[in-house]
Structure 1
């Protein structure tokens, strides 16, 4: 049985929107504005370690497109090992209208297939970005773990992972990343 894990960069006030500043959000671009060299190196090491331990990636259609279009530049910004692993892993793209997911090893699935996907993949299924999909996964009680890297900035507005409802979570890990980032891992409990 698979384990769905949401992995996200987030501000202190929970904003996940537009970390790279490419979506046009007026407060976007916070990822590189508030991370030093030591932080970035430690972040890359954590991201790569995490990715090497998963069996598949799960994306919404827009996030899949974003990742697929940036894989070459991601090699330079993250690491060759990380980018190679993203390319080689099986990828599942949730969409009702997409026919061609734009990269190898990708399968388009519908929302109604998510519980079945979790039953058939043996190991961790990692979700990057895909916040509309994340809300659906949370609402359907399909998420097992939430991993957050918290950046030392407060934006005051923007999209968040949790913007409706109440969820019980249990802290399972916390650690410092570099000089200014903090990593938290939570297991989902009953709502």
Structure 2
């Protein structure tokens, strides 16, 4: 699923820009809240309950994505969430997540909790725009849905990858919020993971040089 960095012509020189990729698990009706059931949401735990035997295939896709990534990008609460769950784990996926360079967008955080992490202070749009010019390759955004909405609104997302689980929850926080206008996309790929999870990827249809 990995693609080459976007190449942008800035005057006489050609620079490669990192690609911001939002990747997340979701119910069929777009709910992303409390997938593991540890946050107290009454419908939480849907990830394991409706993933079942397909989670083995899911894990391989996620590992392949992490191995191809250049960095991770998260918000403050997601930094805390992932640090509490992954720093104590081992295995190929945990090792890769823990060793990847990470960037935490926050206006209040002084020190990140996850390993190998750098805090990006100040305005998130400016911080991520600068990050795209610094990191070559795929910059994966996990969870961090408030940050995701900001990045989508300001046209800083290159690709959206959704693992859609076979359940309609009917309530709960969703990935998408209101935007100032339509955000057209194009379908890049669609396939099943295991027997019941749909894995779809969309690219945002904007000029490569319009953001950041």
* Common fold by TM > 0.5: yes
Cα distance in structure 2, aligned partners of 1:56 and 1:121:
8
Partner residue, 2:134: 120
Matches within 5 A, 1:14-163: 14-37=30-53, 39-72=54-87, 74-75=89-90, 80-110=91-121, 111=124, 112-163=126-177
Give the number of the structure whose residues are more often helix, by fraction. 1
More relative contact order in 1 or in 2 (CA 8 Å, sep 6+)?
Answer: 1
In the superposition, the TM-score normalised over structure 1's length comes to 0.93
Cα distance in structure 1, aligned partners of 2:58 and 2:150:
27
Q: Please, which runs of 5 or more residues in structure 2 have no aligned partner?
A: 1-16, 207-212
For the residue of structure 2 that corresponds to 1:41, the secondary structure is helix
Cα distance in structure 1, aligned partners of 2:170 and 2:143:
20
Structure 1 residue 73: Cα displacement: 5.4
Structure 1 residue 74: Cα displacement: 4.8
Q: Deviations over 1:149-173 (max 9, x none)?
A: 0000001121112121332111100
In the superposition, the TM-score normalised over structure 2's length comes to 0.84
The alpha-carbon distance between structure 1 residues 72 and 109, as it changes in their structure 2 partners (threshold 3 A), is closer
Matched residue count: 185
Structure 1 residue 26: Cα displacement: 1.5
Q: Please, which runs of 5 or more residues in structure 1 have no aligned partner?
A: none
Larger Rg: 2
Partner residue, 2:26: 10
Large movers: runs of 4+ above 6 Å = none
Report if the CA contact (8 A) 2:87-2:114 is conserved. Answer: no
Structure 1 residue 22: Cα displacement: 1.4
Aligned-residue Cα RMSD (Å) equals: 1.2
Q: Deviations over 1:70-90 (max 9, x none)?
A: 114554xxxx11111111111
Does 1:182 pair with 2:198? yes
For the residue of structure 2 that corresponds to 1:136, the secondary structure is helix
Cα distance in structure 1, aligned partners of 2:106 and 2:147:
10
